[in-house]
Amino acid sequence: MTEVQATLVLAGAIMMGLGALGAAIGIGVLGGRFLEGAARQPELIPVLRGQFFLMMGLTDAVPMIAVGVAFYIIFALAG
């Protein structure tokens, strides 16, 4: 394995790790804000729940795309 290939594998691994870390932090903050809003105004829970799941899905889609790009980098470019 050459130095360039090793660097590409490392870049792909960092991309997957930081993507997962960012999504975990984002979903944690989002869940905390959802609970704060639900505690303040319980009558808005159905509206907040829908918005929460929509934003959680969008937040979780970003690392899935990053994993796809990272696998491309690792297996297609570095391989």
The domain limits of the chain are 3-77
Q: Give the per-residue pLDDT at 49.
A: 96
**73 counts as catalytic:** no
pLDDT above 90 covers a percentage of the chain that reads 89
pLDDT at 27 over 90: yes
Round the average pLDDT of the chain to a whole number and report it.
Answer: 93
pLDDT above 70 covers a percentage of the chain that reads 99
Fold of 3-77: F1FO ATP Synthase (1.20.20)
Give the residue from 74, 79, 75 showing the smallest Cα distance to 13: 74
Burial-class residue 28 by CB neighbours within 10 Å (0-12, 13-18, 19+): exposed
Tens of pLDDT, residue by residue over 36-51, are 999 999 999 999 999 9
Both tokens assigned to 13: 């691994």
pTM of the model as a whole? 0.79
Q: Of 22, 26, 60, 69, which one is the catalytic site residue?
A: 60
